[in-house]
Structure 1
Amino acid sequence: METPVTFIIFKRPQTTEKVFDAIRQAKPTKLFVIADGPRTDREGEAEKCEATRAIIERVDWNCEVIKNYSDINLGCAKRVSSGLDWVFNNVEETIILEDDCIPHPTFFRFSEEMLEKYRDDTRISTISAQNLQFGRKRTNYSYYFSRYTLCWGWASWRRAWQHYDLTLKLWQEVQAENLLHDILIDPKAVSYWRRIFQSVYNNPTATIWDYQWTFACWIQGSLSIIPNVNLISNVGVGPDSTHFTSSQGFSFINMSMQAMEFPLKHPPYIVRNVEADNFTQKTVYKATTLNIFKEEVKKRLNYSTIKK
């Protein structure tokens, strides 16, 4: 496979190995690896990071491996965003996988074909592996268009990533002009995302990195490509995960996958699927925010108890 693959890793050798095996099957000729450093206050984390990085040394196919490893812990937001800045400074496009998201083998071909077809079409910013419609078929084509940048397995171009801004410098102007209403229409969705973006703006490095990516794509008026079948499964939820220690309340964890059929059937138009997006907003994002809040509270309480 000629398309470069970017692999984001940290401290989980068990899940990293599973994703690595999927990458090995695809045999990309170029592999970028982004790794964060261990946190000094977490016992045993340095050893876990070392064991995770050792998996990358097992590349046994014709592949140029290019590493960007941090000696210190930058945190999810800074490490992923700075790592992807580095990748897109080196290549025009890439497929991106994190260490807990196992792709279906057909995801690589699907991404490669989509990257080529929409390479110069600035209406499209992201190609996703995720389908969160839970079996509901939204189109008779191989994929549909969405405003949501689903990032558990995705692909994109330098031309799109150049708009990413970790600190959301444009948020105050977007807020003052009430542009979220123009983007989302639904007042409940506007209220939901306003709270998220304001929180990110207040403390951009305390969050995960992908809210800023959603913001960047929305203010450019771009769309995502969503496959008509789910091509990714997140297996990383557990006691050793950074954000979610339990899958309770998350129906999109450990989702089953289905093969993409080829040749692809391309839609003859580029129009957002409103029905699918409304479903995603109502069923996925409300649950996500509520559970993130609960998980963060639980972690802070547990950590305070340990410190005492």
Structure 2
Amino acid sequence: MKPFLVDVPVLILFFNRPQQLSQVFEQVRNARPSKLFLYQDGPRSEHDLPGIKACREVTDQIDWDCEVHRMYQEKNYGCDPSEYISQKWAFSMVDKCIVLEDDDVPSVSFFTFCKEMLDKYEQDPRITMIAGFNNEEITPGVPYDYFFASTFSIWGWASWKRVIDQWDEHYTFLEDKFNMQQLEQLVKERKFRKDFIYMCHRHKENNKAYYETIFHASMLFNSGLAIVPTRNMINNLG
């Protein structure tokens, strides 16, 4: 058994797409993190079972020394709230973690980049997360390896328990007049998507924890910043 190379936990979310997952997992195998969290949603019907089994065969190919945790659901929760469930689960056991979905293929350098940033900014409450995806591929005019931004992509990211513990799964801020005034102003100031508050209302009505709106709301309320690499580190397969 090979030793681990990067002392950082990694959470992988997957369902029934072994071809995409195998590309992600191959990069994780190359990086050899010290801890691995594997979350798989349950079947919608018997037609999902072959893909589910094939995905588990992919993630069984652990050939390095690491601590492994598995949450394989027996029922189907869907993308939401599976995202929220899996992330709260992983961050309940570790103080920092990298999060990858089954279509987020990272470069191997993404893992060491996250490790460095997670350690460096662990005690800095201004920093909310580390993104791996840069939609510009290479951001011009930035003479450093990374920069700070007020918005972020969730295609491959890392964060800390201190951030995830702030998430409001019940969207209680929607019921507070002062909070809503703040949120409306923050959305305008940060030039955030105009339908964000509408999306929060819709997600609350659906009675599901949609982690993407929960995450962004938490970041806005806490004036958080994301670290974005100057060079893109994630290939999203879709």
What TM-score do you get using the length of structure 1 for normalisation?
0.71
Secondary structure of the structure 1 residue equivalent to 2:11: strand
For 1:229 and 1:50, the matched residues in 2 are separated by 35
Q: Which has the larger radius of gyration?
A: 1
Pick from 197, 217, 220 the counterpart of residue 218 of structure 1. Answer: 220
Identical aligned residues as a percent: 31
Residue in structure 2 matched with residue 52 of structure 1 by the alignment: 55
In the superposition, relative to structure 1, how do residues 176 and 127 fare at CA in structure 2: closer, same or farther (>3 Å)? closer
- Kindly provide the CA deviation profile for residues 104-142 of structure 1, in whole angstroms up to 9, marking residues without a partner as x: 111011100000000010111100001123544252221
Q: Are 1:29 and 2:34 matched, yes or no? A: yes
Contact residue 164 and residue 216 of structure 1 kept, 8 A? yes
For 1:208 and 1:176, the matched residues in 2 are separated by 19
For 1:64 and 1:48, the matched residues in 2 are separated by 25
The number of residue pairs the alignment matches comes to 233
For 1:190 and 1:24, the matched residues in 2 are separated by 36
Contact residue 181 and residue 190 of structure 1 kept, 8 A? no
Pick from 9, 34, 51 the counterpart of residue 4 of structure 1. Answer: 9
In the superposition, relative to structure 1, how do residues 90 and 112 fare at CA in structure 2: closer, same or farther (>3 Å)? same
More strand by share: 2
Contact residue 4 and residue 29 of structure 1 kept, 8 A? yes
> How much is the aligned-residue C-alpha RMSD, in angstroms?
2.0
- Kindly provide the CA deviation profile for residues 60-80 of structure 1, in whole angstroms up to 9, marking residues without a partner as x: 111121101111001212212
Residue in structure 1 matched with residue 150 of structure 2 by the alignment: 147
For 1:25 and 1:233, the matched residues in 2 are separated by 16
Q: Relative contact order, CA 8 A, sep 6+: which one is greater? A: 2
- The letter for the 2-side match of 1:95 is I
What TM-score do you get using the length of structure 2 for normalisation?
0.90
For 2:139 and 2:202, the matched residues in 1 are separated by 33
Contact residue 104 and residue 156 of structure 2 kept, 8 A? yes
Q: Are 1:192 and 2:195 matched, yes or no? A: yes
- Kindly provide the CA deviation profile for residues 135-174 of structure 1, in whole angstroms up to 9, marking residues without a partner as x: 4425222111112131111100000000112331212326
1:5-20 to structure 2, matched below 5 A, reads: 5-20=10-25
- Stretches of structure 2 lacking an aligned partner (at least 5 in a row): 1-5
1:1-308 to structure 2, matched below 5 A, reads: 1-40=6-45, 44-173=47-176, 177-185=180-188, 189=192, 191-205=194-208, 209-235=211-237, 237=238
- The letter for the 2-side match of 1:48 is G
Secondary structure of the structure 1 residue equivalent to 2:7: coil
In the superposition, relative to structure 1, how do residues 174 and 129 fare at CA in structure 2: closer, same or farther (>3 Å)? farther
Secondary structure of the structure 1 residue equivalent to 2:33: coil
Secondary structure of the structure 2 residue equivalent to 1:145: strand
1:20: how far off? 0.4
In the superposition, relative to structure 1, how do residues 140 and 75 fare at CA in structure 2: closer, same or farther (>3 Å)? same
In the superposition, relative to structure 1, how do residues 104 and 171 fare at CA in structure 2: closer, same or farther (>3 Å)? same
